[in-house]
C-alpha cells in the first residue's frame, strides 16, 4: 500500500517557479492496477518519478507499507520502473538486462539464472535471451523492459507511458499482456498514460490529474459515467454539456429543469449541491433520437455521421446548444431521420450527471 500525503513539487529554475504537483494525496492499494491519467504537463509523470525517487518532493510524505520512502535513494526503494524509452542497456544482451537488478541485489548466481529464465518465459522471449537489445523489435524491447523491472519482484511496478511508442495493433496486444502480467505476479502497478481508452480498459482505479492536482479518483465506470467536474467529463470520452437549473438534491439523485422547460431526474454530485444554475453532462450514447412530442429536448438535426459501429446525430437544440447523440448500428437499419428534420432528444431517467463546476 502506497500512501501519498499532500505531496507538492515546485520546480524553481531560471523562470517563474512551476508547481508540478499541488498537495496531491492518494492511497494506492495492494495488487491494484492504478492509473494516473491526464494531459501532458498535468504532473502524472512527476508523481511517478517522486515514487521512484528521481524527484524529491518539495513537501509532503510518501510511505510504502508504512516505510517512509522520501529519505531513501532510488536504489534502496523496493520499486521498479518501466521507462517510456525502455532504457535497455545497449551493451548487454536481453538476458543480462533482465539479470541486472538481481545482480545488484547480490542474489546467488543460481537464483539469478532461474529468475531470468522464468521472466523470459513470462514475457515469451526465451528464444531471444542471447540477442543484443538493438537486434530486437520495439514490441520485444518493451517486453524485455517489463521483464527487467519485474525480475527483482518489486512491491510496486511503475510504468511511464510504456505503450506510447508502439503501433496500434501491438498496443492492443500489450494492454492485455500487461493486465495478464499484473494478475499473474500480483504486483501493484502504477501506470501513467494520457490515453483515456488505455486507462479505461486496463485499470482497477483511475486518478484523473490536471494542473498538478488529482481531480477525481474512481473505477473506470465511475469516472466515465459519473465525472465529478467539467474537466474530467471533457477529458474522458465525449460529453454534451447543458446549462440547467438545479431544483433539488436528494441523496445521489437530483431534479433539474432543462432549457426546454422539461424536468429530468439525474445524478447529483457526491457532496451534494445548492440549487441554482449548474452544468449537466450527458454522454452521447446515453440519449437517443425520437419523436419531438414527449421528448425532453428538441432541435434541428444538422448532420448525420456514419462511423461503422455507430452513427452520430448532431442536433442544434432550440436554445442554441449543440448536442451529439450516438446510436449503435444494426444491420440493414432503415434511415428514420434525415438532415434538417426536427427531432426529439430522449434522456432516460437517471442519465446525466450534475457537475461540481
Return the percent helix, strand and coil in the chain, to nearest 5: 25, 35, 35
Smallest gap, in angstroms, from Cβ of residue 58 to another protein? 16
Whose Cβ is closer to another protein: residue 52's or residue 62's?
A: 52
Choose which of 45, 81, 141, 240 interacts with another protein (CB under 8 A). 81
Q: How far apart are CA 346 and CA 330, in angstroms?
A: 19
Residues paired with 11 in a beta bridge = 18
Window of 78-86, 169-177, 232-240, 314-322 that interacts with another protein by CB under 8 A:
78-86
Window of 79-87, 218-226, 242-250, 314-322 that interacts with another protein by CB under 8 A:
79-87
Contacts with another protein: how many residues (CB under 8 A)?
24
Chain centre distance of CA 83: 18
Rounded to 5 degrees, φ, ψ at 7 are -85, 125
Subset of residues 40 to 69 that bind another protein, contact rule: CB under 8 A? 52-54
Kindly give the residue spans of alpha helices, DSSP state H, lying in the chain: 44-52, 94-104, 109-122, 138-150, 168-185, 196-202, 220-225, 230-235
Choose which of 11, 26, 61, 83 interacts with another protein (CB under 8 A). 83
Residue 143 belongs to what H/E stretch?
A: helix 138-150
Smallest gap, in angstroms, from Cβ of residue 77 to another protein? 8
Smallest gap, in angstroms, from Cβ of residue 193 to another protein? 18
Extract the C-alpha cell encoding 70. Answer: 522520501
Extract the C-alpha cell encoding 60. Answer: 509532503
Smallest gap, in angstroms, from Cβ of residue 277 to another protein? 49
Whose Cβ is closer to another protein: residue 60's or residue 74's?
A: 74
Interface with another protein, residue 89, by CB under 8 A: yes
Smallest gap, in angstroms, from Cβ of residue 98 to another protein? 10
Interface with another protein, residue 100, by CB under 8 A: yes
Interface with another protein, residue 171, by CB under 8 A: no
Which DSSP state fits 349? T
Furthest-apart CA atoms within the chain: distance in Å: 77
> Terminus-to-terminus CA distance in the chain, angstroms?
32
Whose Cβ is closer to another protein: residue 146's or residue 233's?
A: 146
Subset of residues 137 to 166 that bind another protein, contact rule: CB under 8 A? 148-149, 152
**DSSP annotation string for 182-237:** HHHH--EEEEEES-HHHHHHH-SEEEEEETTEEEEEE-HHHHHHS-SSHHHHHHSS
Smallest gap, in angstroms, from Cβ of residue 154 to another protein? 9
Interface with another protein, residue 18, by CB under 8 A: no
Interface with another protein, residue 105, by CB under 8 A: yes
Instruction: Please give the residue ranges that form the binding site for another protein (CB under 8 A).
Output: 52-54, 73-76, 79-81, 83, 85, 87-91, 100-101, 104-105, 148-149, 152
Amino acid at each position: 500500500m502506497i500512501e501519498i500525503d499532500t505531496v507538492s513539487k515546485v520546480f524553481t529554475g531560471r523562470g517563474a517557479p512551476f508547481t508540478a504537483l499541488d498537495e496531491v494525496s492518494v492511497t494506492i492499494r495492494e495488487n491494484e492496477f492504478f492509473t494516473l491519467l491526464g494531459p501532458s504537463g498535468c504532473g502524472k509523470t512527476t508523481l511517478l518519478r517522486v515514487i521512484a525517487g528521481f524527484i524529491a518532493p518539495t513537501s509532503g510524505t510518501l510511505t510504502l507499507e508504512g516505510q517512509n520512502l522520501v529519505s531513501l535513494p532510488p536504489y534502496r526503494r523496493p520499486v521498479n520502473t518501466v521507462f517510456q524509452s525502455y532504457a535497455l542497456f545497449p551493451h548487454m544482451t536481453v538476458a543480462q538486462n533482465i539479470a541486472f537488478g538481481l545482480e545488484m541485489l547480490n542474489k546467488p548466481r543460481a537464483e539469478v539464472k532461474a529468475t531470468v529464465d522464468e521472466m523470459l518465459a513470462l514475457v515469451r522471449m526465451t528464444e531471444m535471451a542471447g540477442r543484443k537489445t538493438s537486434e530486437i523489435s520495439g514490441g520485444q524491447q518493451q517486453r524485455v523492459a517489463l521483464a527487467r523491472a519485474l525480475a527483482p519482484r518489486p512491491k510496486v511496478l511503475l510504468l511511464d507511458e510504456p505503450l506510447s511508442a508502439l503501433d496500434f495493433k501491438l498496443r492492443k496486444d500489450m494492454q492485455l499482456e500487461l493486465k495478464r502480467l499484473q494478475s499473474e505476479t500480483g504486483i501493484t502497478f502504477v501506470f501513467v498514460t494520457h490515453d483515456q481508452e488505455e486507462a479505461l480498459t486496463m485499470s482497477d482505479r483511475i486518478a484523473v490529474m490536471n494542473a498538478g492536482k488529482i481531480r477525481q479518483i474512481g473505477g473506470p465506470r465511475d469516472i466515465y459515467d459519473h465525472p465529478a467536474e467539467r474537466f474530467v467529463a471533457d477529458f474522458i470520452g465525449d460529453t454534451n454539456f447543458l446549462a440547467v437549473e438545479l431544483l433539488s438534491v436528494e441523496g445521489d439523485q437530483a431534479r433539474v429543469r432543462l432549457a426546454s422547460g422539461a424536468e429530468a431526474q439525474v445524478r447529483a454530485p457526491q457532496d451534494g449541491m445548492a440549487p441554482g444554475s449548474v452544468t449537466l453532462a450527458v454522454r452521447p450514447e446515453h440519449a437517443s433520437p425520437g419523436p419531438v412530442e414527449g421528448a425532453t429536448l428538441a432541435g434541428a438535426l444538422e448532420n448525420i455521421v456514419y462511423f461503422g459501429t455507430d452513427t452520430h446525430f448532431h442536433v442544434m437544440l432550440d436554445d442554441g446548444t449543440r448536442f451529439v447523440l450516438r446510436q449503435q448500428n444494426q444491420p440493414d437499419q432503415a434511415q428514420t431521420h434525415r438532415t434538417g428534420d426536427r427531432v426529439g432528444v430522449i434522456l432516460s431517467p437517471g442519465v446525466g450527471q450534475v457537475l461540481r463546476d
